[in-house]
Structure 1
Amino acid sequence: MKGPLGHIADLQHGVKTKRVSSYDRTGGNRDCITIPAGETAELASIDGAGIIKHIWMTLSTKDAFIRRNAIIRMYWDGEESPSVQSPLGDFFGQGWGEEYNFSSLPLAAAPMKGKALNCYFPMPFGRGARITLENDSEHELRSLYFYIDYESHPSIPATMGRFHAWWNRELTGVQPPEGETEWGVIAPQGANKTDAHNYLFADIEGKGHFVGINYYVDSPGPMWYGEGDDMWMIDGEGWPGSLHGTGTEDFFNSSWCPNELYSHPYFGYARIPDRLGWMGRTHCYRFFLEDPVYFEKSLRASIEHGHDNNLALDMSTVAYWYQAEPHKPFPPVAPKASRANMPEITVRDVHRWRHEWRKSMGGAATLWGNERKPDTP
C-alpha cells in the first residue's frame, strides 16, 4: 500500500469519496445515534469495493467506563468472524477505560481531553464492509457521533491485505523459582530460552504484515516493569525467532527505563504513572509503518513480563496488522466483569507492606527501611 502522501499526485479513475455519518436525517441538529444498554448498533454497511480512510467518533453516556465497555468490530467481504475486535478506547489508544490525549500517525485521541477518537489506518475491502459497536453497559449510550470516510473503487484485489486488530489481556503470574524480582533485587535471575510463558500479543495464521501495537501495563509494585524481551516467531520457527529484542523500552524505541510522556508519530508514551517508581499505569505504543514485520504463513509475537517472566502485571494490548483472508477467528471478548481494572495500589497498601517488613525484621523502633537480614542479597 502507498505511503501517507503517495496518492496525492495520482489522478484516480472510477474512485469516489464517500462518507457514512450520524448526521440528523430529518435535517435537524441531533447529529448522533443512541445505543440502548446491552445492544449493538450497525454503524456502517457498505456494498462493493473500497477503502475506509478515516474514522472519527465521540460519545456521551453516564457510564464512565464506556471505553472498555463498548466493543468495536469490523467485518470485510461478508465474513462472519470479525477482523477487528477490541474495546473502543483500547483500539483508538486509550487504556483502562480512561480519557486522555494520545497522538500518533495512524491513531489519535484528540481534544476535548481525548474525547475525539480518530483512526487513519486504511481498510480495504472487495465485497463490502460492516462496522458495529456493542454497548456492553448498564447505561444507555446516549449520543454517539461518528464519521466513516471511505473511497469506493471499481474493484479491490484479494491480494491487498485486509486490516485486522485484536485486543488481548492477561494478569500475568510469576513464573521462575527466584520469585518476583527484577535486576536481581530479591535473588539471582534465571535464563529464559522459550516464549512459552511470555505475554502473547499476536497469534496470526495466514500471509500478511504486522504494523503496530498499543501496549497498556498496570504494575502493582514500584519496580521497573520493562526488562522483558520481545520475541517474534515467524512461519512456525522456534526460539529465539527471527526478531529477538533486548528489553521493553528498547522495543518501544526508548531507553533506560523511561517514565515520561513522549509523543512521536510512530512511537511513544501516552500515559505514565505519577507514583513511586513505575507503580501504576503506563501506555506505550509503536507503529511499524516504515518497517512492517512480514510473514508468509503465521506470526506468534510475544513479550516477557519482566525478565524471565517474573513480574505480576495487568497487561493489555491491541495489535494491528494486514493479512490475506481467511483469518484465524479471535476468542470471544472477555465478559464485562473480567475487563474491569485491577484495584489501585494505594499509600495505605504500601504502608502495610512496610509494617509486615518491620515485623519480619524484629520490630525495632528505629528501623528505617533499607536494612537487610544477613542472608538477604
Structure 2
Amino acid sequence: MKRLLLSFVAIIIAGLAYSQSEFNGLNMNMGNIYRMSDAETRSISPENFTGEKGKGGMASLEDKGTRNKANAADVARDLGQGWKVNPFIIIKPGETFTLAEIDGSGAIQHIWMTPTGNWKFSIIRMYWDDEPEPSVECPVGDFFAMGWNEYALLSSQAICVNPGSAFNCYWPMPFRKKCKITMENINDQDEMRLYYQIDYTLTDVPNDAAYFHAQYRRSNPNTGSVHTLVDGIKGKGQYVGTYIGWGVNNNGWWGEGEIKFFMDGDSEFPTICGTGTEDYFCGSYNFDRDGQYKEFCTPYAGLHQVIRPNGSYKAQQRFGLYRWHILDPIRFKKGLKVTIQDLGWRHGHRYLPQQSDIISVSYWYQSEPHTNFPKLPSWQEIEVN
C-alpha cells in the first residue's frame, strides 16, 4: 500500500512539473492534447500570406500575371476564386522573399515546404523579436538534413522528409514580440518555385522559454582532422540536435572520431566526450550488416542517407546522419563549443587523421542575444558536392 501511495504521489508531482508551455498550446502532445487552451491556431501559406483569420484562399483570377498573387490562375480559370489560385510562390535569382511575418507572442509549431531546384541555393533565415541578425541561417536542404541535394526518406520526431521531396520541421519555436522567416534564392540564374505552409499558435510564452537557433557549417576539405560544429555560443540554453553530411575522401571505415562538448569555460578538455562517430549517432560497429552500410531512422537518431558511388559521376561515398537530443538535451549555463574528430583507419591497425568533406547543422535553444554567426559561404562554395 505504501509503495502504491508513493507511486501515486510521484504521478501527481510529475503532472505538476509540466511547464506552462505544455498547457497553453505551445507544445501539445499525446499526454496533454485533450486539455483546453486559449491559444489561437493560425497558418501562413501562399494562399494566406498573413495568416489572418478568415483570409485564406482569397487570391483572385484578376491578379493573373502578377507574380506571387495568382500563380495558378490558368489552371483555376474554370473555377475562380477559392479554388487553389495561388498555392506557390516564385523567388527570382538574388531575391529574398518574406515567408512569414508575425506580430505578437506565440510559437511556430510546424513548417512544411517543397522547394524546387538546388536546395543548397535556397537560404532559410529566422529572426525573433526584431533581432538584426538571424537565429537560423542554413541552406534549406541542410536545415532539413538533406545536405547532399538528394532526397532520402527521414522519419524522426523533429524532422521528417517524405516522398517526393516534402520537408517537415516540428521543432517548437517560441517568440515574444515578433517572428520573421525569409527565403533567399542565391542562384545566379534560375528562379525557384516554393510551396510552403507555416503553422503556428498565438499565445502567451512562459518566462523560461528559450529561442530556437540553427547554424550551418562546412569543412571542405577538413583541415586538422577536427570539424567544428559550433563555437562562440554565449548565454544559457540547451543543445538539442546535430545533422552531419559526411563526404569520405579515402577508403576504409571513416567514423572513429569522437564528438566533444566544451561547456561553460572548458578549455583543453571537454565535459562530454563521445566514443566514436557511429556511437554518437546511436549505431555501432560501422553501421555494418553483412558487409554493407545499413540505413536506419528512429525518432531520435539515424543514418538516413547513404549515397554510393555509381561508377560514373557519383565518385565518392556520402552519408547523412542525425541525432536529436530531445530526451537528453545538453544544457549549458555560460557557453558552448562542439567539435567532432575526422578519424578513420590506416594500415597496421592505427588511426588515420582524415580530410573529409563535412557539412553540419547544429540546433539549440538559448536566451538572447546570441553571438553573430560566421559569414555564410558563397554559392560557389556551397554548391560543391
TM category (shorter chain) comes to: 0.7 to 0.9
Aligned counterparts of 1:201 and 1:174: Cα–Cα separation in 2: 14
Paired residue for 1:263? 297
Aligned counterparts of 1:59 and 1:237: Cα–Cα separation in 2: 40
* Backbone CA RMSD of aligned residues: 2.0
1:274 counterpart = 2:326: no
Q: Secondary structure at the match of 2:339?
A: strand
CA-CA distance at 1:279 after TM superposition: 5.0
Instruction: Say if 2:129 and 2:178, in contact at 8 Å, map to a contact too.
Output: yes
Paired residue for 1:207? 236
Instruction: Say if 1:42 and 1:133, in contact at 8 Å, map to a contact too.
Output: yes
Instruction: Encode CA deviations 1:280-319: one digit per residue, 9 max, x unaligned.
Output: 1011111010000000010111110116771010000111
CA-CA distance at 1:322 after TM superposition: 0.6
Aligned counterparts of 2:32 and 2:188: Cα–Cα separation in 1: 44
Please, which of 9, 19, 26 is the counterpart of residue 43 of structure 2? Answer: 19
Instruction: Encode CA deviations 1:8-27: one digit per residue, 9 max, x unaligned.
Output: 132212x1000111126223
TM-score (norm 2): 0.77
Evaluate the alpha carbon distance shift between residue 270 and residue 52 of structure 1 in structure 2; reply closer, same or farther with a 3 A threshold.
same
Evaluate the alpha carbon distance shift between residue 279 and residue 337 of structure 1 in structure 2; reply closer, same or farther with a 3 A threshold.
closer
Evaluate the alpha carbon distance shift between residue 202 and residue 173 of structure 1 in structure 2; reply closer, same or farther with a 3 A threshold.
closer
Q: Secondary structure at the match of 1:159?
A: coil
Paired residues, number:
312
Paired residue for 1:329? 372
1:121 counterpart = 2:171: yes
Aligned counterparts of 1:281 and 1:39: Cα–Cα separation in 2: 31
Paired residue for 2:128? 76
Aligned counterparts of 1:332 and 1:302: Cα–Cα separation in 2: 19
Paired residue for 1:144? 194
Aligned counterparts of 1:57 and 1:75: Cα–Cα separation in 2: 18
Identity of aligned residues (%): 35
Evaluate the alpha carbon distance shift between residue 173 and residue 133 of structure 1 in structure 2; reply closer, same or farther with a 3 A threshold.
closer
1:59 counterpart = 2:146: no
Instruction: Say if 2:249 and 2:356, in contact at 8 Å, map to a contact too.
Output: yes
1:90 counterpart = 2:90: no
Evaluate the alpha carbon distance shift between residue 7 and residue 130 of structure 1 in structure 2; reply closer, same or farther with a 3 A threshold.
farther
Q: Secondary structure at the match of 2:240?
A: strand
TM-score (norm 1): 0.79
Gaps of 5+ in 1: 176-196, 343-377
Q: Secondary structure at the match of 2:381?
A: helix
Paired residue for 1:312? 355
1:109 counterpart = 2:134: no
Instruction: Encode CA deviations 1:200-254: one digit per residue, 9 max, x unaligned.
Output: 1122111000111111100022221111011111101133321111110011110
Which runs of at least 4 in structure 1 moved beyond 6 Å after TM superposition? none
1:292 counterpart = 2:329: yes
